[in-house]
Structure 1
Amino acid sequence: MQSQLSRDAGTSIDIRNVVKRYKGQTAVDDVTLSVEAGEFLTLLGASGSGKSTLLNIVAGFITADAGRIEVGGRDLTTVPPHRRDLGMVFQHYALFPHMTVWQNVAFPLKRRRVAKAQIASRVRQALEVVELGHLAERRPAQLSGGQQQRVALARAIVFEPQALLMDEPLGALDKRLREQLQLEIKRLHHELGTTFVFVTHDQEEALAMSDRIALLRDGRVVQIGSPQDLYDRPASRYAAEFLGESNLFTGRCDGRTFVDERSGAAFTVAAGGNGVELRNGSALVVRPEHVMLAADDAPLPADHNTLDGLIRDVTYLGSGLRVEVALPDGRHLVTRTGTRSGLRPQPGLPVVAHWHAEHAVVVADDTGAAVSATVSETASTVAA
């Protein structure tokens, strides 16, 4: 269904050298970031990374200590929130409990003194977009969490804002509802063509919904790109660890050869790695889905990197298996494989883990000690 609320391709948002400090601590550290008109951009990061602070600066609820916010080429840095023409959806929906769904959605239009006839038409259209027209006379307490969130979305889009800002809007929902609302928000974005800026700490949510992802750490953007770019070509060890599961090795690189500092094993990598300088202090990233398992006596492709090990654990995931392989030096490697692969993985089975050089990505080792490396330094030693 194509809604009458659909407009143009949205508007651009430009964040220029924005800084915000609290009691000497820097929450947003000189961030410059452009959101394209009609784009779905996600600000992704751990708690304290500055993502919600940055979004609230764009919305006007927080005043930056330095920098500039432009929307559609207009400088809004000193413009109060209610005059920025930006829709906002919070994690806690902030619906008026004494009002019906219809009244909640109509509220921003009444505040803007829109004519009654136009209010009726636009509220009806907004409720149609979120598929809640049949619940217009209910109050928030009579709705499920997912329905309340859709009311909040309808209220945010009904006045046709220049852009829609969402701060962890699905954080209070269970997994099934989160996944359902992810699809509905993507549909809403496609239908309206409005610029969306979405904040989350959930990597799967970011990968599923976004045109681009800006990954934040300690108030700075450490990488920005499409979900596939960030997943397949992380710019740093931190990005590789934060976004998806990874097998990580610390070592040094010389040309197309990476030497693991722990085991001394040499791996062939794609030429040039990820565009980083191949130098001492680099890290090697191999995603679990690119690691294959073979019996220890099976023939292997000549251009594959290999590591011997014992299967430590097998977890059934429905669509496939997650297999942990214990390495001789005490670490473990994670693979993901189909349930109908040739090898039947069982704990204690000797195997060879192998992967093609093109799936070995060299990144800058920017974290020191790994936060959550899959190739674990603390795994129990494999029995001889």
Structure 2
Amino acid sequence: MNEGGPNEGGAVDVRGVGKRYGEAVALDGVSLHVEPGEFMTLLGSSGSGKSTLLNVVAGFTRPSSGSVAVDGRDITKEPPYKRDLGMVFQHYALFPHMSVAENVAFPLRRRRVRGAELTRRVGEALDVVELGGLRDRRPAQLSGGQQQRVALARAIVFRPRVLLMDEPLGALDKRLREQLQLEIKRLHTELGITFVFVTHDQDEALTMSDRIALLRDGRIVQVGTPEDLYDRPASRYVAEFLGESNLLPGSDDPELFLVRPQHVRLSPPGAALPDGHHARDGKVAEVIYLGSGLRVEVELRSGGRLIARTGTRLDPVPKPGDDVVAHWSPQDRVTVPA
């Protein structure tokens, strides 16, 4: 389908967008640039403003202030059908009385594509999502994952430069979610168009994104690669939102330092530690077997608790009540503004 090759996506510019509902502020002066062909994820908890921002870009919500442009063209006042953006909703919105092929053809018929061209492009879109053999089925005859693929095919069949997705995997079970995460990432690479993806799931965002915009209370608190947000959080909120975190007092009162659980090692008291390692004495409070490893919670003698994620082959395996020394390399410690 990607006849023009990679990087055929459109650039999206959100400039100072605000949205109020009476006294309630849903978006507070949000600005964001999405590069052509980028996979940008809008991440945040419920009520953070991520879906409102996506709906402003899509045209379903009119902003109270600010503007939206695609490839430099201001689309702020244009209705959704004139923006030519692909959209995938959480609940798919498939037509139950239409076959798979008819659902996928719908956007093309609205654009007056007919005959052999319509048949060819529907076939291409279904092949991309690996549903070519199910073109004559109705949505009720499909699994949840298959329905999601039909929704994706319908959104890409008219070759939009930007594809918007609002929690598209939210209704699926964990195994299917993880499978479709990889398929959507593959689809993004194959098509080369710009994806703007909304989720509240941090693992989903870390797995799929080129960059992540983390929202809180209608504002973007940090934008960066998954590595930026996970390894170099700009605030305590970002550190605690993405993954498990150990936040310990720094040398200054308004300062904390972050150590991720996978960087924490546990040793018995009196054991020799690697040169330069920071250490805290404590007692094991809880051990949880995770299959791939152990999650060990340590009650520190200095106060508070610390989490370590370790392999299952520790000798000895820690047990609740054991005295331990939790330690980590200085390279694995990140300073975070409190």
- For the superposition of Structure 1 and Structure 2, which TM-score range results when normalised by the shorter chain? over 0.9
Question: Corresponding residue for 1:103?
Answer: 102
Change (3 A) 1:156 1:7: farther
Structure 2 spans left out of the alignment, 5+ residues: none
Structure 1 spans left out of the alignment, 5+ residues: 252-257, 260-278, 366-384
The code of the aligned residue for 2:288 comes to T
Task: Give the TM-score, by structure 2 length.
Answer: 0.97
Tell me if structure 1 keeps the 8 A contact 2:41–2:199.
yes
User: C-alpha distance in 2, partners of 1:79/1:221?
Assistant: 25
Q: Does the residue aligned with 1:137 lie in a helix, a strand or coil? A: coil
The number of residues matched between the two structures is 337
The code of the aligned residue for 2:193 comes to T
Question: Corresponding residue for 2:30?
Answer: 31
The code of the aligned residue for 2:12 comes to I
The yes-or-no answer on 1:346 pairing with 2:319 is yes
Percent of matched pairs sharing the same residue: 65
Task: Tell me which moved more, 308-317 or 199-208.
Answer: 308-317
The yes-or-no answer on 1:182 pairing with 2:181 is yes
User: C-alpha distance in 2, partners of 1:243/1:23?
Assistant: 32
Q: CA deviation digits over 1:108-137, x for unaligned, max 9?
A: 000110122111000000000000011100
Tell me if structure 2 keeps the 8 A contact 1:5–1:125.
no
Q: CA deviation digits over 1:209-244, x for unaligned, max 9?
A: 000000000111100100011100000000000011
Question: Corresponding residue for 2:305?
Answer: 332
Following TM superposition, the consecutive aligned residue runs of length 4 or more in structure 1 with deviations greater than 2 angstroms are 3-8, 328-331, 340-343
The yes-or-no answer on 1:303 pairing with 2:276 is yes
Change (3 A) 1:42 1:4: closer
Question: Corresponding residue for 1:231?
Answer: 230
User: C-alpha distance in 1, partners of 2:111/2:3?
Assistant: 17
Question: Corresponding residue for 2:55?
Answer: 56
Q: CA deviation digits over 1:124-157, x for unaligned, max 9?
A: 0000000001110000000000000000000000
Q: Does the residue aligned with 1:123 lie in a helix, a strand or coil? A: helix
Question: Corresponding residue for 1:87?
Answer: 86
Deviation, 1:206, is: 0.2
User: C-alpha distance in 2, partners of 1:308/1:8?
Assistant: 53
Question: Corresponding residue for 2:289?
Answer: 316
Q: CA deviation digits over 1:95-117, x for unaligned, max 9?
A: 00000000000000001101221
Tell me if structure 2 keeps the 8 A contact 1:6–1:191.
no
Tell me if structure 2 keeps the 8 A contact 1:6–1:192.
no
Question: Corresponding residue for 1:281?
Answer: 254
Deviation, 1:343, is: 4.3
Question: Corresponding residue for 2:165?
Answer: 166
Q: CA deviation digits over 1:50-81, x for unaligned, max 9?
A: 00000000000100011111101111111110
Task: Tell me which moved more, 37-46 or 318-327.
Answer: 318-327
User: C-alpha distance in 2, partners of 1:96/1:115?
Assistant: 20
CA-atom RMSD in angstroms? 1.2
Change (3 A) 1:4 1:307: closer
Tell me if structure 1 keeps the 8 A contact 2:2–2:192.
no
Greater relative contact order (CA < 8 Å, ≥ 6 in sequence): 2
User: C-alpha distance in 1, partners of 2:98/2:46?
Assistant: 33
